[in-house]
Structure 1
Amino acid sequence: MPVPPADTADLLAQWLNGKKPTTTTATRPDHGSGLRFAFYGRTSTTRHQDRVSSQGWQRDMAEHLIAGHGQIVAAFFDTGTSRRIPWKQRPQATQLIASISAPERSVDAIVVGEYERAFAGTQFATLYTWCTRHGIQLWLPETGGPVDLANRDHRTLLSLLATQSQREVLRARHRVLAAMHNQAIQQGRYLGGRPPYGYQLVDAGPHPNPADARWGRRLQRLAPDPLTAPHVAWMFRQRLAGHSIASIARHLNERGVPCPSSADPDRNRHRTRGAWTLRTVAVILANPRYTGRQTWNRRATDPSGPASMPALSAKAAHPALVTELDFVAAQQVRAARPTTDGRVRRFALAGLIHCGVCDRRLDSHWNHGRATYRCRHGHTSTQRADQPRPKTIYIREDYLVEEISIRLGEEGNDGHVAPALDRPRHRRVAAALRDSGKIIVCDRAGWRLQEIDSS
C-alpha cells in the first residue's frame, strides 16, 4: 500500500537521522500539553543578513531546547535592531512584553535561540526580574533550560555571557573600523554615503573580494558632475579672492544655481529644496574631498584608537576640483576683517538688546570705528537686498551705555563716577543689567528697560 506523501517526508527524516521507522503514520505533537512558549529572536541588519535564515536557525535552537517540555505558540523576531537597544524600545520585544502583561496571557515561558542575539549588558537581569514578577520562565540554550539565578552556576554563566556579548560588539566594531580606515588611507576607496555636491558616482570595477565579485558586486568612485562641479570650483575661486561666505551664497541664489537638495533630490529626501545657506557653502568649502583625496570618519568622536581617527587617502582617489594648495589657502581666509589698529573688538551688551519689532536679539555690528547693534528682522546676507522687510534698527553702544548709566544712577551730582565702580563703564552697565534681570528693548520709538520673562 503506497505511503501518503505527507508521511513520506517524516519517514525520510527518520531514516536520514538513523532512526528505524516504526509506523507509516507520523507522530504529531500534542499542542495541548506542556508549557506554552513565546520564541524571541533578533537580527542586526537587513542589508547584510538574511532574516529567514537567521530566524530559522535561532528557532531551531529554541525548538531543540524545549523538546518534550512544551510548544512554541507565538514568535517575535526583531529585524534591523541592535542588541544594545533596550527591549522596551524594540518593536517585537515590546509586543512580547505587552502580550505577557495582558490579563489573558497565552504563554508560560520565553525561549530564545542564543543569548547574544537577545541580550547585552544588564538587559537579561532586567528582563529576568520582570519575568519572575509575572510568573514567567526564561529559557536559554546556554543553561539547558529555565534560568535560575538562585543557582550559583547560572549566575556565573550569565555574567560570562554578558561579558562575552559586549566583547563581541566591541571586537566587531573595532575590526570594521580598522578595515574601513585602512581602505580609505591605502586604497582611497569610496565607502558609501551621499556623494559631495559637485561629484557623481561612477563604476570603479569589480569588487576586490573574489566571492563578492562573482556575485556581481562592483566598486564605485567619485567623478566630477558636469552640471554642479563648475559651481564648486567657482566657490573656491571666490573665497580665495577674499569674498565672504555670505556673499558667495547670495550670488548663488541670485544666479538661480540649484543647491544640493535641489540638484540631487533622491539622495537628499531629508532636506527641503530651498536656497543656498551660509552653512551649506561653509561645509562645501571645508570638505577636503574636493582635492581628489578620499576622506573617511572626519567627525570621529572616539579617539580611543587609530581606527577611530579621521582618515585621508595617501594619494588622489578621484579627479580634483581644487588644488590642495588652494584648498588650504581657502581655509585661512577670514570673513571678519582685522581692525586697523590691531585691537580686539568687544561688544559688552551682546545678547542684552532685543528688537521690539520682531523680538529677535540684535546682532553685534562694528560701524565707523565703534560698537553698534542692529536688527534686520530675519534678513540675511544670502538674500536679495530688494526683498520687502521692516527697516533695519541701528543703535550705538556708547549711546546706550551713557543713557543707562544715568538711568541706573551710577554718577553723582557732580558728574563723577562713584569710586567703588572702578570697572569700565560698559562692563558695569552690562553687569548691572544681568544682575537685575533686565534687557534692553529697541524699536522705532527708542529704547526701554524690561524685565526678563522667566516663563
Structure 2
Amino acid sequence: MPTLSEHDEPDLLTYWMSQARLAGRPRRRRPDVVGGLRFAFYGRVSTADFQEPVSSRRWQRDVAEDLTDGHGRIVVEFFDVDRSRRLPWSDRPHAAMLLAALADPERGFDAVVVGEYERAFYGDQVLSLIPLLEAHGVQLWLPEAHGRIDLAEPSHQALLMLLGAQSKREVLRARSRALAAMRAQARDEGRFLGGRPLYGYRLVDAGPHPNPMHAKWGRRLQRYDPDPVTAPIVRWIFAERLRGCSVSRIVATLNARGVPCPSQVDPGRNRHRNGCGWALNTVRALLSNVKYTGRQVWNRQPAHHTPAHLPGPFKTQRWASTSEWVISKQVAHPALVSEADFIAVQQVSALPAPRGGGRRRYRLVGLLRCGLCGRRLESCWSHGRPAYRCQHGHSSATPRGPDRSRNVYVREDRMITVIRGLLRDSGGSAVADQAVQQIVCHLREHRLVVTCTETACRIEAEFPN
C-alpha cells in the first residue's frame, strides 16, 4: 500500500502567508462531500540523472494543490522517477500501485489529480484510464481542464485529444532534435558520445565542453586513447587475421595464452557477461569495428521504440546496416589498424575457395539431424566434396574436454546412398530410384529428416507428435 504523504511543518511566516492568501478568496466546498474530496496526487519525472526529482515533484504538487484548493486536500501521493511517459501506467511502479489501490474499498481517496497532463499521460492513455476510474467511483482532475474531467462534455473530449497530440509531438520533437545533434557531432566533430570504452582503448580528457554553460559547470569532453595493455592485443588480432588465420584459431590462441577477454578487463562495465574467456562472436565483433581505424562511428546499434498501442518491449536495440552508420569525416582518435588493413581484413576468408572458382552446392542442407544432441548438421567442405558435421554446440576455439562427444561427420554422396536404402526399406522404392533432386523434394514436402549417429541413420518426421 502507498504511504500517506504529510506536509512539512510550516514555519510561522509561511502559515501567515497561506492564511492571508486564503482570506482573499473564499474556500469552496463541495456540498456532496463532507469535509471535501480526498485526492491522490500523481506525478512523474523522466530521468533521475538529468532532472531534479525533488524540484519537479514540488512544482507538480504545487499545481495540483492550487487546483484542489477549496475542493478538498491531497491525502496520498504517487510519484514515479526515471520512467518514460510512453510506458503505460501498469508498467510504472507507483502508477501501478495507484491502479491496484482502486479496487480497495478502504483506499482513502475519492479522486486523482495530476500536476500536468504531459507528465502523467502520453497520447490517448487517459481515455483508457478514465473508464477504469469511473468504474471505481474515482474522479480525474486536470489543471488544463481547471478541475474534473467529464467525458460526457464535448469540450473535455476535444481537450483530451489536443493534449494527447501535444504530448506525442513533444516527445517526437525532442527525440528528433537530440538524434540530429548527435549525428552532426559524430560526423563533423568525431565527438565521443558516451558508452563503454572500446576494448583496446581508454578514455582520456579531450578539453572543455563546447557549450559555454556546460563548460562553466565543469563538464569536459572525452576521447579514446590506446590502452597500453589491451591495444597490442587488438593489433595482434588484426595481424593474425590478415595472415589468413581463422577466427577459431585466433580465439583458441588467446584462450590458451590466458589473455583476459574484454569482460575480464573491465568487469564493472560488463556485468551482463560471464567473463569466462574469448568467444568467436567477441573476435568477430572486434574485427568488424570501424572505430579501430581512428574514426568515430555512431548509430551502429540504434534504439527502436515500440508504438504505445502495440504489445512488446518499450525499447529494443538492433544492429543497423552499414549504410546507416554515421562515420566521422576525420580521424577522431589514434588508430590501432590502418584503413587499408581494416578493409582487407573484411575480405579475408579462412575457407579454401573451390577449384576453378565455382560455387559449392549442398543439396541436403536442413535435412540432416544429429542423433546425439538434436541439432541440424552444418555444411562443410571436406576433401573437395560437400559434407555435413555436428560439433554439438562447440567450436574449434574451445578445447575438447574428456566428456565431450565426438563430432559427427557425414559425406553427402554416401548419405544419399544411405537415404535411398532407408526409403526402400520403408516401402518407398519408387522414390528411392528417382534422381537426387526428386528425393530431396520428397523429404522436404513430407517434412522428413534423417537422424544420424556414428553407427546408424533413420528417417523420421521433422516434428514428431
Q: Do both share a fold (TM > 0.5)?
A: yes
Contact 2:431 2:439 in 1 (8 A): no
In the alignment, structure 1 residue 448 sits paired with structure 2 residue 458: yes
The alignment status of 1:198 with 2:213, answered yes or no, reads no
Where in structure 2 are the equivalents of 1:86-97 lying within 5 Å? 86-97=88-99
Report what 1:348 is aligned to.
363
Deviation >6 Å, runs of 4+:
17-20, 412-418
Deviations along 1:89-144, one digit per CA (max 9) or x if unpaired, are 11000000111111322111110000000111221100012112222111000000
Q: Separation in 2 of the partners of 1:415 and 1:175?
A: 68
Whether 2:181 is the aligned partner of 1:171: answer no
Which amino acid is the alignment partner of residue 146 of structure 1? R
Task: Using the TM superposition, name which of 267-276 and 378-387 deviates more.
Answer: 378-387
Partner of residue 42, structure 1:
44
Q: Tell me, yes or no, if the aligned pair for 1:78 and 1:92 is still in contact at 8 Å.
A: yes
2:215 alignment partner, one of 203, 213, 224: 213
One-letter identity of the residue aligned with 2:96: T
Q: Is the 8 A contact 2:387 2:409 kept in 1?
A: yes
1:386 and 1:94 map into 2 onto residues whose CA distance is: 50
Name 1:81's counterpart in structure 2: 83
Where 1:315 maps in the other structure, the secondary structure is coil
Give 1:393's aligned residue.
Answer: 408
Q: Which runs of 5 or more structure 1 residues have no equivalent in the other structure? A: 21-30, 303-307
Question: What is the rounded CA distance, in whole Å, between the counterparts of 2:229 and 2:253 in structure 1?
Answer: 17
User: 311, 330, 336: which one pairs with 2:326?
Assistant: 311
1:10 aligns with 2:10: no
SS in 2 for 1:222: strand
Residue 204 of structure 1 aligns to a residue in which SS? strand
Range moving further from structure 2, 206-215 or 72-81 = 206-215
Q: For each residue in 1:424-443, what CA deviation from the matched residue of structure 2 results, as whole angstroms up to 9, or x when unmatched? A: 51x32232223333321222
Are 2:423 and 2:431, in contact at CA under 8 Å, matched by a contact in 1?
no
Deviation of 1:349 (Å) = 1.8
Relative to structure 2, which stretch is displaced further, 202-211 or 109-118?
202-211
Q: 1:136 to 1:416 in 2, by over 3 A?
A: closer
The answer as to whether partners of 1:36 and 1:107 remain within 8 angstroms in 2 is: yes
TM-score for both structures, normalised by structure 1: 0.88
Tell me how far 1:414 sits from its aligned partner: 11
Residue 162 of structure 1 aligns to a residue whose secondary structure is helix
Would you say the 8 A contact 1:254–1:384 is kept in 2? no
| Displacement after TM superposition at 1:12 (Å) | 5.0
Shift of 1:312: 1.1
- Paired letter, 2:462: I
- Does residue 431 (structure 1) correspond to residue 446 (structure 2)? The answer is no
CA separation of 1:181/1:55 partners in 2, compared to 1, >3 Å: closer, same or farther? same
* CA shift digits 1:167-208 (9 cap, x unpaired): 000000011111111111121111100011100111112222
Q: Distance in 2 between matches of 1:448 and 1:413?
A: 14
Q: In structure 2, do the counterparts of structure 1 residues 58 and 125 end up closer, same or farther at CA, with 3 Å as the change threshold?
A: same
- In structure 2, the CA distance between the partners of 1:435 and 1:257, relative to structure 1 (3 Å rule), is same
- Provide the rounded CA distance (Å) in 2 between the counterparts of 1:342 and 1:301: 41
Q: Distance in 2 between matches of 1:136 and 1:195?
A: 51
Among candidates 366, 373, 376, match of residue 388 of structure 2 = 373
> SS of 2:113's equivalent?
strand
Alignment-derived partner of residue 107 in structure 2? 105
Secondary structure of the equivalent of 1:371?
Answer: strand
CA RMSD of aligned residues (A): 2.7
How many matched pairs?
430
Matches within 5 A, 1:51-70: 51-70=53-72
Aligned to 1:305: none
Which residue number in structure 2 is paired with residue 279 of structure 1?
A: 281
Answer whether contact 2:123 2:165 (CA < 8 A) is retained.
yes
Q: 2:161 aligns with which of 154, 159, 162?
A: 159
Distance 2:133 2:273 in 1: 44
Q: Deviations over 1:58-110 (max 9, x none)?
A: 11110001110011111001111111101111100000011111132211111
Which SS does the other structure have where 1:316 is aligned?
A: coil
Distance in 2 between residues matched to 1:110 and 1:192, nearest whole Å: 39
Does residue 185 in structure 1 map to residue 187 in structure 2? yes
Could you list the per-position Cα deviations for residues 267-315 of structure 1 after superposition, in whole angstroms to 9, with x for gaps in the alignment? 111111111111100111111111111111123477xxxxx94221111
**Which has more radius of gyration?**
1
Q: Percent identity?
A: 50
- The residue type paired with residue 13 of structure 2 is T
Letter in 2 for 1:450: E
The letter of the residue matching 1:362 is: L
One-letter amino acid matched to 2:456: G
* Distance (whole Å) between structure 2 residues aligned to residue 153 and residue 122 of structure 1: 16
Normalising by structure 2, we get a TM-score of 0.86
Query: Offset at 1:52?
Result: 0.3
- SS for the counterpart of 1:341 is helix
1:401-416 correspondence runs (5 A): 401-409=416-424
Q: Which amino acid aligns with 1:9?
A: T
